[in-house]
Copies of this chain bind each other. A is one copy, B any other.
Amino acid sequence: MNSESLKKLLQSVAAGDTPVDNAVDEISKLPFEDIDFAHIDHHRSLRKGFPEVIFGEGKSSEQICGIMAHMTPRENIILVTRVDTEKAAQVLNRFPQAEYHTDARMVVLKKKEPPVRGKGTILVVSAGTSDIPVAREAYLTAQAMGNCVESIFDVGVAGIHRLFAHKDLIDQAAVLVVAAGMEGALPSVVAGMVSRPVIAVPTSIGYGSSFNGLTALFAMLNSCSSNVAVVNIDNGFGAGYMAAMINRE
């Protein structure tokens, strides 16, 4: 039930067509029972400004295609994350207009290019080549949400001069996403160089006491730079989404 149908009900009360007790009953269930709220994706697109994103891991290509078929009529852009090559082939077979980004393991279906809504540039930085899939997931997510996105890859702290070579790009970014595994030191260093919000995303890259990204996660939460907030391990999508939220007009 939306404002208009509520108005109609009240007009009916005012007109004496609906008894007061019936109206009391109907209104008291609101806004919980309205069938409109059951169109989940539809509602989210209105409420949050972006449709639900399909988490591909653990879903069959049939399930992914089913959800996509359900969303296609209503949404201009559909993202599917964590899709392996094999599933992607099956999805693209069904939706030929979709693109598969191997590096990010992501399927993107755009009915039209999203209009640029972000106020500045989002910069995605990653520490090592192994962190690129996570970084690219952030990149494509932010881009799909209507942002100018730039990226710098493979600038780990063991060769810190590589980072400084990109100082201009870093200085001009409105929001930064920094992905790193192993010791997770890069977000601290980058955040120390700028006065802009940095979203740190730990990756599961490493072995032994990297604990599948936990060490990087904790390091980032303990950053000595204050302009850092953190998302879950390997959550490139979440980092890109959060950056897009921050970058909105």
A:136-189 near B, CB below 8 Å: 154, 156-162, 164-168, 182-185, 188-189
- Enumerate 13 A-B pairs (CB-CB under 8 Å) in ascending A order: A32-B165, A37-B165, A38-B165, A40-B159, A57-B207, A128-B224, A157-B192, A158-B188, A159-B192, A208-B212, A210-B218, A215-B215, A230-B231
Question: What 8 pairs between A and B have smallest CB-CB spacing?
Answer: A208-B233, A185-B185, A229-B229, A32-B165, A32-B164, A158-B192, A183-B219, A215-B218
* Inter-chain contact A209/B215, CB cutoff 8 Å: no
Query: Residue of B at shortest CB range from A67?
Result: B129
Sorting the interface of chain A by its residue count into under 10, 10 to 19, 20 to 34 or 35 or more gives: 35 or more
The yes or no answer to A85 lying at the interface (CB within 8 A) is: no
CB pair A221–B209 under 8 Å, yes or no, is: yes
- CB within 8 A of A189: which of B157, B196, B238? B157
B218 touching A209, Cβ below 8 Å: yes
A49 to B197, CA, bound (A): 12
Cα–Cα, bound, A208→B201 (Å): 11
- Asked, given contacts A24-B3, A191-B158, whether A182 binds B31 with beta carbons under 8 Å apart, the answer is no
A245 within 8 A of B: yes
Contacts of A166 in B (CB 8 A): 32
Q: Which single residue of chain B is at the shortest CB-CB distance from A154?
A: B40
CB distance from A216 to the nearest CB of B (A): 8
Given the contacts A29-B168, A32-B161, A218 and B211 also touching, CB distance less than 8 Å: yes
B183 touches A220 (CB 8 A): yes
Q: Tell which of A6-14, A86-94, A96-104 binds the partner.
A: A6-14
Q: Quick one: closest B residue to A166, CB to CB? A: B32
Per-residue interface assignment for chain A, residues 214 to 242, with 1 indicating a CB less than 8 Å from any chain B CB and 0 otherwise:
11111111111111111111110111011
Contact residue among B128, B185, B213, B241 (Cβ-Cβ distance under 8 Å from A157): B185
Chain B residues lying within 8 Å of A199, measured Cβ to Cβ, are 229
CA distance in complex: A166, B33 (Å)? 7
Q: Name the residue on B nearest A239 (C-beta).
A: B229
A31 CB → nearest B CB, Å: 5
CA distance A226 to B231 in the complex (A): 9
- Give Cα A225 to B27, complex, Å: 24
B20 x A10 contact (CB < 8 A): yes
- What per-residue 1/0 map shows which CB atoms of A40-68 lie under 8 Å from chain B? 10011001111001000110000000000
Q: Check B13–A161 contact: CB distance below 8 A.
A: no
Least distance between A28 CB and chain B CB atoms (Å): 7
